[in-house]
């Protein structure tokens, strides 16, 4: 982005405008970063702002990304289209936003770690801090950003709750604190003495970074025999699936996960191993203990 600001005429003004709009619309900083990074790369590639690039040039650029089957490039194609749509609407070129390629929504099911794999994963890290952060993410179904945003004061050991503040969709939520992780957290706090944030790292404000968390997950996986294609977010997927299998209803799960729509939560019904209840009349169960 810095290179685009110094090399592309007018990009600095665009950058500031996008920053302003993300704040005003209450969108996440990660959303801005994805969009602005992609606009910066496109602007650097052509040496000018997107509105000065012809449709034919843009289509050729997007086609080269779409034809590259490598995972990073496929993700780049998606972010390029979303970023350009956002940008064109922002500057009042809605027609060009509509004319961009449509993205077919993928219907991949989340990959779930079973309970044996999770136990092996949580035992793998050498450092207590790393064992605790991975276990905590699974225990409360946290997004990575939520984990690094946690402050020590957000953990209430007496009420057995975790307060997740201003997460996705700018919503707060409270989730149960596991008795098991509570013991581990107390041990961690006594040993590490973190300040402010629950997990300290090298970010400017003292927080751990998302990259750091992802590294912890990758290194832990290397020390196990797990062959599944999983990442940090798979811990949240596993949390949701295991709660459904433990009997938690889908509406409660939606609130625990902080989803805006129930349709987002329903995907876990496709991977959860739920016991089948045969169709019957409730009248039979009403008098079951009487007859």
Active site residue 143: yes
What is the pLDDT at residue 160? 96
- Considering the domain boundaries, does residue 261 fall inside one? yes
DSSP state of 161: E
CATH of the domain at 170: 1.10.443.10
What is the pLDDT at residue 103? 65
Check pLDDT > 60 for residue 21.
yes
What is the pLDDT at residue 5? 87
Active site residue 168: yes
Percentage of residues in the chain with pLDDT exceeding 90? 53
User: Given 74, 89, 173, 233, which residue is catalytic?
Assistant: 233
Domain containing 50 equals 2-98
pLDDT tens track for 116-158: 999 999 999 999 999 999 999 999 999 999 999 999 999 999 9
Are 166 and 218 in a shared domain? yes
Active site residue 130: no
Helical residues (DSSP H) of 106-204, grouped into ranges = 115-123, 128-140, 144-149, 179-192
CATH of the domain at 9: 1.10.150
Question: Predicted confidence band at 223 (pLDDT cuts at 50, 70, 90)?
Answer: very high
Using alpha carbons only, give the angle 23, 28, 32 rounded to the nearest 5 degrees.
75
- Considering the domain boundaries, does residue 276 fall inside one? no
Are 72 and 36 in a shared domain? yes
Are 91 and 120 in a shared domain? no
Of 156, 116, 114, 150, the closest CA to residue 132 belongs to: 150
Are 248 and 129 in a shared domain? yes
Active site residue 82: no
User: Given 48, 151, 165, 168, which residue is catalytic?
Assistant: 168
Among 66, 98, 130, the domain boundary falls at 98
Please give the tally of structural domains in the chain. Answer: 2
What is the pLDDT at residue 62? 85
Structure tokens, 268: 């876990």
User: Given 35, 197, 239, 268, which residue is catalytic?
Assistant: 268
- Considering the domain boundaries, does residue 260 fall inside one? yes
Q: What is the pTM of this model?
A: 0.68
Check pLDDT > 80 for residue 183.
yes
pLDDT tens track for 75-122: 778 888 888 988 888 888 888 887 777 766 556 889 999 999 999 999
Active site residue 236: yes
Are 259 and 204 in a shared domain? yes
- Please, is 178 exposed, middle or buried when counting C-beta atoms within 10 Å of its C-beta (0-12, 13-18, 19+)? middle
User: Given 143, 237, 242, 254, which residue is catalytic?
Assistant: 143
Are 66 and 176 in a shared domain? no
pLDDT tens track for 195-221: 999 999 988 888 999 999 999 999 999
- Considering the domain boundaries, does residue 230 fall inside one? yes
Pairing between β-strand 161-164 and β-strand 173-176 as defined by DSSP bridges: antiparallel
Active site residue 180: no
Are 61 and 160 in a shared domain? no
What is the pLDDT at residue 282? 75
User: Given 38, 85, 236, 237, which residue is catalytic?
Assistant: 236
- Considering the domain boundaries, does residue 208 fall inside one? yes
What is the pLDDT at residue 74? 62
Are 141 and 213 in a shared domain? yes
């Amino acid at each position: 982005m810095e290179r685009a600001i110094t090399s592309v005429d007018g990009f600095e003004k665009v950058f500031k405008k996008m920053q302003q709009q993300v704040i005003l619309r209450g969108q996440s900083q990660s959303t801005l970063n994805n969009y602005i990074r992609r606009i910066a790369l496109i602007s650097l590639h052509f040496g000018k702002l997107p509105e000065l690039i012809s449709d034919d040039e843009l289509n050729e650029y997007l086609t080269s990304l779409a034809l590259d089957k490598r995972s990073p490039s496929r993700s780049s194609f998606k972010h390029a289209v979303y970023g350009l749509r956002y940008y064109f609407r922002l500057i009042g070129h809605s027609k060009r936003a509509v004319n961009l390629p449509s993205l077919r929504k993928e219907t991949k099911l989340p990959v779930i770690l079973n309970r044996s794999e999770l136990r092996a994963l949580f035992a793998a890290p050498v450092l207590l801090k790393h064992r605790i952060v991975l276990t905590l993410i699974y225990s409360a179904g946290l997004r990575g950003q939520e984990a690094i945003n946690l402050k020590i004061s957000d953990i209430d050991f007496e009420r057995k709750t975790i307060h997740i503040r201003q997460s996705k969709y700018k919503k707060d939520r409270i989730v149960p604190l596991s008795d098991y992780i509570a013991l581990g957290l107390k041990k961690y706090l006594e040993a590490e003495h973190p300040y402010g944030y629950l997990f300290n790292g090298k970010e400017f404000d003292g927080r751990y970074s998302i990259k750091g968390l992802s590294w912890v997950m990758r290194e832990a996986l290397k020390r196990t025999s797990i062959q599944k294609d999983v990442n940090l977010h798979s811990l949240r997927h596993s949390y949701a699936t295991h709660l459904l299998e433990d009997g938690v209803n889908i509406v409660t799960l939606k609130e625990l996960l902080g989803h805006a729509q129930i349709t987002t939560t329903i995907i876990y019904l496709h991977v959860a191993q739920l016991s089948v209840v045969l169709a019957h009349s409730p009248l039979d169960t009403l008098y079951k203990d009487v007859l």
